Amino acid sequence: MNREPVDRALFDEVMVPNYAPGTIIPVRGEGSRVWDQDGREFVDLAGGIAVTALGHAHPGLVGALTEQAGKLWHLSNVMTNEPALRLARTLCELTFAERIFFANSGGEANEAAFKLARRYAWEHFGPEKNEIISFRSSFHGRTLFTVSVGGQPKYTEGFEPAPGGIVHADFNDLASVKALISERTCAIVVEPIQGEGGIMPGDPEFLKGLRALCDQYNALLVFDEVQTGVGRTGHLYAYQMYGVTPDILSTAKSLGGGFPVGAMLTTAAIATSLGVGTHGSTYGGNPLACAVAQKVIDTVSQPEILKGVSQRSDRLRKGMLTIGKKYDVFSEVRGAGLLLGGVLTDAWKGKAKEFLNAGLDEGVMVLIAGPNVIRLAPSLIIPESDIDEALTRFERAVSKLCA
């Protein structure tokens, strides 16, 4: 086995250059603390982009993984397995769903959701009903279909021709949706809180209006909850916070707590459109992934955990607002639960990456959501003392930027 030392320079020698990682290479994590190759410690407010919902090396997840690893790693979908069945049953019990499809990522879960929406319309209303309405600034994955449904043209540039039958309205603007919807519409796809688009919450009346329009035009409402799901907002799924029930929901990221897994949730009536042979995934429903995800769901769905998300959210939001006011860097801090975005003031527009880098210099990991928003998506169980320490370090970073 090759044990030669590795550093950031090796990335440029051996990896496709579609990423531009920083110089820091983390090697160990525990809870909401991470250590790099040089032993430097960081407080993690990034959570692997809203993924490590229970922090790093959570004992329960490590136990679930190792226990299952000693039993069975993989089967083809010619057979089912116990962890997948248990996880599917749990998701059905805790949500609107009656049927589950497992995948490996949010992009795959969305791919399945969009294919199901078109297939359902094709079966029930004919091939003309195939148009999907999505929203500008949205993000739904990196496959050619999902980047096309997403509302950011930069992600399809150079990969054309993109799939057709997709139109984009303005988020939180119901009139723009009404101008596009027709009997040809098979689905409206929306993030209840836009993630990559700047941590932009959907207005409750807007989301309720989408539900009504879908009902009026026999279209399916698809909620992309890849980033907002599994306790991130203080509810198991954000649709429960809004009181708007979709027909199809995609979930991933926090679902595995860091282990790759995704799922599409829907009703029994809609699920029949994905009959035998219409869709599949080699690793979807993998016993290892499902065993870990079961432990995540069992943990996060506990009322005290969800209540704790709201309490931590208040602490983190107030701290960020205090920093924003003191240094005049944030015009607002928006979002829900532990998916928060500090919106930069005009004086700092376009400079979000500078805050990320300054934070690393002071030992705190944050994210960006576009060039104008600092994104925070830490562990749902981050200790309050770690929140306070992270805010102290982040304020130190901000003070140096503003000096």
Give the start-to-end residue ranges of the domains of the chain. 8-58+303-402, 72-300
What is the C-alpha separation between 271 and 98, in angstroms, rounded?
9
Instruction: Grade residue 2 by pLDDT with cuts at 50, 70 and 90.
Output: low
Q: Do domains 8-58+303-402 and 72-300 have the same CATH topology?
A: no
What is the C-alpha separation between 156 and 18, in angstroms, rounded?
14
Instruction: Grade residue 4 by pLDDT with cuts at 50, 70 and 90.
Output: confident
> What is the average per-residue pLDDT within 62-91?
97
Instruction: Grade residue 187 by pLDDT with cuts at 50, 70 and 90.
Output: very high
Lowest mean pLDDT across 20-24, 362-366, 377-381: 20-24
Quote the pLDDT of residue 1.
Answer: 60
CATH class, range 72-300: alpha beta
> What is the average per-residue pLDDT within 340-354?
97
The overall average pLDDT reported for the chain is: 97
DSSP 47-86: HHHHT-TT-BS-HHHHHHHHHHHTT-----TTS--HHHHH
Please state which of the four CATH numbers 1.10.3210.10, 3.90.1150.10, 2.60.260.20, 2.10.109.10 is assigned to the domain occupying 8-58+303-402.
3.90.1150.10
> What is the average per-residue pLDDT within 80-99?
98
> What is the average per-residue pLDDT within 187-206?
97
- What's at 365, amino acid-wise? M
Query: Which residues touch 245 (CB under 8 Å, ≥6 apart)?
Result: 96, 211, 239
Judge whether residue 253 has pLDDT over 90. Answer: yes
> What is the average per-residue pLDDT within 145-156?
94
- Token pair for 68: 């299952």
Contacts made by residues 388-392, CB under 8 angstroms, sequence distance 24+: 388/315, 388/319, 389/43, 390/32, 390/43, 390/45, 390/364, 391/316, 391/319, 391/320, 391/323
